[in-house]
Chain A
Amino acid sequence: SQQGEEDPQALSIQEGENATMNCSYKTSINNLQWYRQNSGRGLVHLILIRSNEREKHSGRLRVTLDTSKKSSSLLITASRAADTASYFCATTRLNFGNEKLTFGTGTRLTIIP
């Protein structure tokens, strides 16, 4: 079963705007990761945030984590057409160190040139 929900399910913005997507999860976690998937193919790892971290940056990506609310957000700044893809959050559970990933339902992002 899915770990949680992502919001919104779909998002369309103009190129150059910022895109924000949210993820909620259900159980205590070791870390939360964001992945991108283009056209139903393999997933590409974007960023990982540990349960004791609140914010992390990587290039145009900014991730926040609120463990009290069991939620995370991914911000993509200055969006580009190449950012068009589906984005998934995935978690690993607390005290389970073997990297089983539990994915959310995904947000489909469309960047309009």
Chain B
Amino acid sequence: DAGVTQSPTHLIKTRGQQVTLRCSPKSGHDTVSWYQQALGQGPQFIFQYYEEEERQRGNFPDRFSGHQFPNYSSELNVNALLLGDSALYLCASSPRDQGGMGEQFFGPGTRLTVL
């Protein structure tokens, strides 16, 4: 059983460009959350998708957007990249029917560097 997968592993972009990160949840999971982790910090919640809709959003600008597909996989898009967007982007999945009381399963992350 494959866990959460993310692609690409590493990415280098320049300021002003746009980037798309991808995530496939663990089998049987229908909820996907995205987190940004700056170097030396804890992850910060970006947003969460369930039933192809954004259900919760953290304190991130509209440059950060996402999408969930019918197979529960998800994309994170960041427009007009800034140097401060350099971070590890983590995807996490969970089954909705655990009622919000359980663990989340994290992927290995995508390391984004903005030059």
A44 B42 Cβ-Cβ under 8 A: no
**A30 contacts chain B at the CB level, 8 A cutoff:** yes
Chain B residues lying within 8 Å of A42, measured Cβ to Cβ, are 4, 90, 106-109
Complex partner residue of A45 from B37, B99, B103, CB under 8 angstroms: B103
CB distance from A74 to the nearest CB of B (A): 14
Chain B residues lying within 8 Å of A106, measured Cβ to Cβ, are 41-42
Give the total of B residues in contact with A, Cβ under 8 Å: 34
A98 B100 Cβ-Cβ under 8 A: yes
B33 A92 Cβ-Cβ under 8 A: no
A86 to B41, CA, bound (A): 10
B101 A31 Cβ-Cβ under 8 A: yes
**B70 contacts chain A at the CB level, 8 A cutoff:** no
B45 A100 Cβ-Cβ under 8 A: yes
Give the total of A residues in contact with B, Cβ under 8 Å: 28
Which residues 12-44 of A sit at the B interface, judged by CB distance below 8 A?
30-31, 33, 35, 40-44
**B31 contacts chain A at the CB level, 8 A cutoff:** yes
Complex partner residue of B101 from A30, A45, A90, A101, CB under 8 angstroms: A30
Instruction: Given A40-B88, A88-B43, A103-B42, decide whether A97 and B109 contact each other with a Cβ distance below 8 A.
Output: no
CB distance from A65 to the nearest CB of B (A): 15
A89 to B100, CA, bound (A): 17
Chain A residues lying within 8 Å of B99, measured Cβ to Cβ, are 97
Instruction: Given A44-B106, A103-B44, A106-B42, decide whether A1 and B59 contact each other with a Cβ distance below 8 A.
Output: yes
B59 A101 Cβ-Cβ under 8 A: no
A44 to B94, CA, bound (A): 13
B100 A104 Cβ-Cβ under 8 A: no
Complex partner residue of B33 from A33, A40, A44, A101, CB under 8 angstroms: A101
Q: Which residues of B contact A (CB under 8 A)?
A: 4, 31, 33, 35, 37, 39, 41-45, 48, 50, 55-56, 58-59, 88, 90, 92, 94, 98-109, 111
Q: Which residues of A contact B (CB under 8 A)?
A: 1-2, 30-31, 33, 35, 40-45, 48, 50, 88, 90, 92, 96-106
8 A-B pairs whose Cβ atoms sit less than 8 Å apart in the complex: A2-B41, A33-B103, A42-B4, A45-B104, A45-B106, A99-B100, A100-B56, A105-B42
